[in-house]
Amino acid sequence: MVSKSQQIEGQYVKKETFYMVSLLALAVGFFGGVMFGVFKSDSSLPGQSSAPSQSSTGQQAALDRSTMIAALQKEVAANPNNVNAWIDLGNSYFDTNQYDKAISAYQRSLELQPNNANVLTDMGVMYRRSGKPQEAIKAFDKAMEVDPKHEVSRFNKGVVLLHDLNDTQGAIRAWEDLIKVNPFALAPGGQSVDQMVTQMKKQLKQESTAQ
């Protein structure tokens, strides 16, 4: 059986650098009518082609989630250096909203395989969900350091800066860096990130003029 994490190509968190299949990982926020949340690493930004995801096969999907977690817990206890099992366990905790446990499993996998941008990105999402936006930013920055072309970590960083840290200028810079990586990057609603950044700058200028 091929592990979900065995399909990772070193680009990002749970599934692949800019391949995310369907899960928005976090609560939505808004700025100037733009609404979105952060992405899980196995999802793809709109407009990107999807690679085969690391989601469970039909047979795996039939397993009860708690049974899968129990099996993975047994595996890592017996084989603590099984990095794929630690990643899959973190992914299972991610999918069941067990933030702290997911972070712990991801951290253990990173001790064994430090330069996994996918894991770093998903861990960042879990930090955000657990109310630790600064830690989320650190995880996203590390993912980008590992893989400078990692699009999801760049998009997620902008979301956290904007909605959690009230740093609009920082969010704009993060998304401008994303545009440098992919000029055609799209936000979840289908709007181009380039257009979104232009609108945000225009709104900031209008607000500044009004003051």
Query: How far apart are the C-alpha atoms of 147 and 32, rounded to whole Å?
Result: 31
Distance from chain centroid for Cα 54: 14
Asked whether the predicted pLDDT for residue 9 surpasses 70, the reply is: no
Q: Which of 150, 93, 84 is nearest to 112 (CA)?
A: 84
Q: Is residue 59 over pLDDT 80?
A: no
End-to-end CA distance of the chain: 62
Residue 39: pLDDT band by 50, 70, 90 thresholds? low
CA-wise closest residue to 136 among 147, 146, 145, 125: 125
pLDDT at 5 over 90: no
Which amino acid, residue 205? K
Residue 58 within any structural domain of the chain:
no
Distance in angstroms (rounded) separating the CA atoms of residues 155 and 151: 6
Residue 57 has pLDDT above 70, yes or no: no
| Tally of structural domains, the chain | 1
pLDDT at res. 2: 37
Q: What is the mean pLDDT of the chain?
A: 79
How far is CA 203 from each of CA 106, 191, 210, rounded to the nearest angstrom?
Answer: 39, 16, 10
pLDDT tier at 209, thresholds 50, 70, 90? confident
Residue 199 falls within a domain, yes or no? Answer: yes
Stretch 174-183: mean pLDDT:
96
Q: Examine residue 86 and state whether it is found in any structural domain, yes or no.
A: no
Under the banding of pLDDT at 50, 70 and 90, the label for residue 207 is confident
Task: Please indicate, yes or no, if residue 60 is contained in any of the structural domains.
Answer: no
Q: What's the pLDDT at 36?
A: 54
- Does any domain span residue 109? no
> With contact defined as beta carbons under 8 Å apart, do 8 and 88 qualify?
no
Q: Is residue 34 packed enough to be buried (19+ CB in 10 Å), middle (13-18) or exposed (0-12)? A: middle
- In the chain, % of residues over pLDDT 70: 71
80 is a domain residue: no
Residue 51 predicted with pLDDT over 80: no
Give the pLDDT score at 129: 96
Question: Does any domain span residue 63?
Answer: no
Range of the domain at 124: 5-53+117-210
CATH number at residue 185: 1.25.40.10
Residue 12 lies in a domain: yes
Quick one: pLDDT at residue 37?
Answer: 64
pLDDT (tens digit per residue) in 66-91? 999 999 999 999 999 999 999 999 99
**High-pLDDT (> 90) share of the chain, %:** 61
Residue 40's pLDDT band (cuts 50, 70, 90) = confident
Tokens 């993060």, residue located: 174
Give the per-residue pLDDT at 93. 95
**Is residue 31 over pLDDT 80?**
no
Which segment of 54-58, 92-96, 110-114, 198-202 scores lowest on mean pLDDT? Answer: 54-58
> Are the C-beta atoms of residues 29 and 162 closer than 8 Å to each other?
yes
